[in-house]
A and B are shown apart, each in its own frame.
Chain A
Amino acid sequence: MTLSDQDRTQAAETVSPFNAQTGLDDDMPNVIWNMLKELADRPRVPDDVNLGKRTIYDLCDQRSIGPVTLDIEQRLSAELSDYTYDACYQEGLAADVLKQIISKPSCSYPAVELAIELYDPNGYDIQPSGRGNARKLRVLVLAVNHEKILYYDPLRYGKVNQNQIRGIQTSELDKKEFIKAWQGRSEITSTLWVEETDQSRLSEYN
């Protein structure tokens, strides 16, 4: 089953109001910000679930070296403690679980980490350093099926070359290719999402 036009249209509508990252290395706070913004825009979700750019940058301690990912779900949950939402972080999830998270109205879209050296996006090129070093990239997964994955990739934006980037669009990648980058060399996937607390936790499926 391939992605339908409806999947693509829906994903395009989801990302069009997203904010581009400010610098090329702001992917983590940018993805969390857009994740919360989209969740807060849903019916019956409090607006303040969108914690705002400044708070999210602070809780990631975003600096030029990169963000702190250690215990990020705890800091995010603490910021969301006034609402019925919690942040969840899991390692070793499979793509089918991403699909379940996406289909649950009580869950945000999931943010995942991709290994740059194994990631070959459509539409632009990424080159690791001469010795193969690169950062990981966080993207927001919007739709998963048997063959393809639709997602928001912040590295396509930020310090833009105005001639090349016009508006925020979804990215699409072959599922196998995506999973290879998601697993990385350590072959351990990592996923972060926000979930309504009085709903059954997705982690119970595992």
Chain B
Amino acid sequence: MSEDSNEGETTRIIPESISVSTNFSSEVLQNTIERRLQEVYGSGTYLSDFYSADSGSLAISIGNSFPKDVSDCRPNRDRVIKYIAVDDIAELSGERSGQEYQIELPSRHSVEQGLVQAKESLREELDQAMARAMYEKIASTPAVENQLNPIKQILRWTRIYHPVSFEEVRKAQDKKDDKTLQYVHTLEELGFIELREGDLHPKRPLEKYDLGEVDGAEFNKQILGEVIEQGFQRLSRDLQLGILRHLPKFANGYYVAALEANDPSLHLNMESIQDNMVEWYGQSARFHKFELRDKLSFLVRNKILEEEEGGEDDEDSELYFTANQNVFEQMSATASL
């Protein structure tokens, strides 16, 4: 089978369209179409939306489900496979032609791309949910504080000296490559400050700390927590603040399975967490076990995960990770997994 390596498209082995009789009731019609589409796009295919217009045209959205191993790693536990469903990975249309509906079939490659994108959205949602669940706990840790120090400086100086000249702030930070301007733009977009005629002005989210007379360490903790919560994606992706980008991956290496299994007492070992990370984030999420252990220990110290040694009465000396109840509840409430 010839393959176009650029497109990931193989020679088309599915027909351009399928035809289905119009003489079915709505329920039988939908079941029949679903069954035919399962033969073409995989047996996990289902109709996530179906609309039949009086004019005789059909608008169909399809979803797909895929299996995930959510087994507890403790000895003598049964393997558990959970199916995850994602809606709306592709849209199909059909037209009535005589006694049949003709439904156009997009390529399998394009439907697969729809599944990839839907998984990516799930991942981003999960990361965002994790950032929200963990931000207060990690904002005051030295590692995160260090990375966010320039952000903290801009917020603090704007608060104390407003209006403060942007040039003065840039000089004070002495950063290369216009980093200060990037931070300022990010904080502007998040609505914390405003750059107007060369000066930085505080905006409402920053001003409210004056009303509450929140100062010093408490200000740092709260404002940084708020910045992380509001701006997780911008900070982690655009400003390349690595620790923010990576920590949710490590945490979600556990929580993706616990949420799917709906079980905060799910025990996972490091190997399973690593497998989940690679499965969800790709090969770039493979880390040396020393580094993995360090990051998981960081999450345990900051009460994002719990850890438990295996039992003493058997050969089970392995280290397991379980959910922090609060984080699990917050994640359950916000992530759609």
Contact = CB atoms under 8 A, between A and B. Distances in A.
Contact of A58 (B1, B69, B279): B1
A41 B244 CA distance: 54
B64 A66 contact: yes
B43 interface: yes
Contacts of B261: 127
Contacts of A129: 65, 82-85
A164 interface: yes
A2 interface: no
Interface string B41-67: 111111000000000000000011111
Q: Is the interface of B mostly helix, strand, loop or mixed?
A: mixed
B71 A164 contact: yes
Contact of B115 (A65, A75, A124, A155): A65
A24 B81 CA distance: 9
Interface in A148-206: 155-156, 159, 161-165, 186
Contact of B66 (A25, A70, A161): A25
A60 B15 CA distance: 15
Contact of B108 (A65, A134, A136): A65
Contact of B79 (A59, A66, A165, A186): A165
A25 B82 CA distance: 12
B120 interface: no
Contact of B78 (A69, A70, A123, A133): A123
A42 interface: no
B46 A61 contact: no
A88 interface: no
Interface in B63-104: 63-71, 73, 75, 77-85, 89
A125 interface: yes
Interface string B1-16: 1000000001001110
A134 B69 contact: no
A59 B40 CA distance: 13
A58 B10 contact: yes
Contacts, number: 124
A163 B269 CA distance: 11
A140 interface: no
B67 A25 contact: yes
Q: Is the interface of A mostly helix, strand, loop or mixed?
A: loop
B46 A133 contact: yes
Interface residues of A, number: 38
Nearest to A63: B112
Contacts of A66: 41-45, 64
Given A65-B44, A126-B81, A129-B84, A159 B275 contact: yes
Given A124-B81, A134-B83, A70 B112 contact: no
Interface in B111-138: 111-112, 115-116
B108 A133 contact: no
Contacts of A134: 44, 65, 67, 83
A159 B109 CA distance: 24
A64 interface: yes
Interface string A103-128: 00000000001001000000111111
A135 B66 contact: yes
A75 B10 CA distance: 15
Contacts of B43: 66, 69, 113, 135-136
A68 interface: yes
B73 A161 contact: yes
Interface in B260-294: 261, 271-272, 275, 279
B65 A70 contact: no
B156 interface: no
Query: Which of B70, B82, B275 is most buried by chain A, counting CB atoms within 10 A of its CB?
Result: B82
A43 interface: no
A116 B38 CA distance: 14
A17 B47 CA distance: 39
Contacts of A126: 80-83
28 contacts: A24-B66, A61-B10, A63-B109, A65-B42, A65-B89, A65-B112, A66-B42, A66-B64, A68-B13, A68-B108, A70-B40, A125-B78, A125-B81, A129-B65, A133-B46, A133-B65, A133-B85, A134-B65, A135-B42, A135-B43, A135-B44, A135-B66, A159-B69, A159-B279, A161-B69, A161-B73, A164-B79, A165-B79
Given A124-B80, A134-B44, 7 more contacts: A63-B112, A68-B39, A69-B43, A70-B15, A125-B81, A129-B84, A131-B85
Q: Lowest 5 A-B CB distances belong to which pairs? A: A66-B42, A136-B43, A129-B85, A135-B44, A124-B79
